[in-house]
Structure 1
Amino acid sequence: MNGDAVRVLTYNVRRDVASDGEFDWAARRDAVASTLRFHRPDVIGLQEPLAHQYADVRDALPAYEWVGQSRNADDGDGEFCPVGYRRDRFERVDAGTFWLSPTPEEPGSVGWDAAYPRIATWVRLEYRRSGERLLYANTHLDHESARARAEGAELLRERVQEQRENDEALVVGGDLNCLAGDEPHRALAGPDEESPLVDAREASPHPPHGPSTTRTDFEGLLPDRQIDHVFVAGCDVAGYGVAADVMGDGWFPSDHLPVVVDLEL
Structure 2
Amino acid sequence: MNFCLISCNIRFDNPADGANAWPHRRQILAQTLLKHHPDIIATQEGRFNQLKDFESLLGDFTIIDEHRSWIKERMYPTIFVKKDRFEILKSEDLWLSETPGVAGSLSFESMFPRLMTWVKLQPKNSETNFFVVNTHLDHVKPQTRVNQVKVLIKEIKRFWNENSLLFITGDFNDSPQSEVRQTLLKEFPNLQDSWALFHQIEETSHHAFNGECQNGSRIDWVMVDKKAKVEDCVMDKGTVDGRYPTDHFPIICRLNF
TM-score (norm 1): 0.89
Following TM superposition, by how much is the alpha carbon of 1:236 offset from its aligned partner in structure 2, in angstroms? 2.1
Quick one: distance in 1 between partners of 2:249 and 2:201? 10
Q: Is the 8 A contact 1:70 1:77 kept in 2?
A: no
Q: Is the 8 A contact 1:65 1:84 kept in 2?
A: yes
Match of 2:46 in 1: 49
Following TM superposition, by how much is the alpha carbon of 1:5 offset from its aligned partner in structure 2, in angstroms? 1.2
Match of 1:95 in 2: 91
Does residue 199 (structure 1) correspond to residue 193 (structure 2)? The answer is: yes
Does residue 245 (structure 1) correspond to residue 226 (structure 2)? The answer is: no
Residues 138-171 of structure 1 deviation map (CA, whole Å, 9 limit, x = unaligned)? 0000011212211111221232233222431110
Following TM superposition, by how much is the alpha carbon of 1:218 offset from its aligned partner in structure 2, in angstroms? 1.3
Q: Secondary structure at the match of 1:39?
A: coil
Match of 2:16 in 1: 19
Gaps of 5+ in 2: none
Q: Is the 8 A contact 1:69 1:80 kept in 2?
A: no
Q: Is the 8 A contact 2:67 2:93 kept in 1?
A: no
Quick one: distance in 1 between partners of 2:111 and 2:187? 31
1:37 partner letter = L
Q: Aligned ranges for residues 90-169 of structure 1 at < 5 Å?
A: 90-169=86-165
2:147 partner letter = E
Q: Secondary structure at the match of 2:195?
A: helix
Following TM superposition, by how much is the alpha carbon of 1:211 offset from its aligned partner in structure 2, in angstroms? 7.9
Match of 1:264 in 2: 256
Residues 165, 193 of structure 1: CA spacing in aligned structure 2 closer, same or farther, 3 A cutoff? closer
Q: Aligned ranges for residues 31-42 of structure 1 at < 5 Å?
A: 31-42=28-39
Q: Secondary structure at the match of 1:139?
A: strand
Q: Secondary structure at the match of 1:201?
A: coil
Following TM superposition, by how much is the alpha carbon of 1:208 offset from its aligned partner in structure 2, in angstroms? 3.4
Quick one: distance in 2 between partners of 1:210 and 1:20? 31
Quick one: distance in 2 between partners of 1:51 and 1:10? 18
Residues 171-208 of structure 1 deviation map (CA, whole Å, 9 limit, x = unaligned)? 000100001110112122x2x36543221223x3xx33
Q: Secondary structure at the match of 1:109?
A: coil
RMSD: 2.2
Does residue 255 (structure 1) correspond to residue 243 (structure 2)? The answer is: no
| Number of corresponding residues | 255
Quick one: distance in 2 between partners of 1:105 and 1:256? 29
Quick one: distance in 2 between partners of 1:107 and 1:196? 30
1:173 partner letter = T
Following TM superposition, by how much is the alpha carbon of 1:68 offset from its aligned partner in structure 2, in angstroms? 3.6
2:95 partner letter = W
Runs of 4+ in 1 over 4 A off after TM superposition: none
Question: Residue 210 of structure 2 is aligned with which of 219, 234, 239?
Answer: 219
Match of 1:59 in 2: 56
Match of 2:171 in 1: 175
Q: Is the 8 A contact 1:208 1:239 kept in 2?
A: no
Q: Is the 8 A contact 1:11 1:46 kept in 2?
A: yes
Following TM superposition, by how much is the alpha carbon of 1:54 offset from its aligned partner in structure 2, in angstroms? 0.4
Residues 193, 11 of structure 1: CA spacing in aligned structure 2 closer, same or farther, 3 A cutoff? closer
2:252 partner letter = V
1:259 partner letter = I
Quick one: distance in 2 between partners of 1:69 and 1:208? 37
Which range moved further: 97-106 or 28-37? Answer: 28-37
Identity within the alignment, % = 27
Q: Is the 8 A contact 1:209 1:241 kept in 2?
A: no
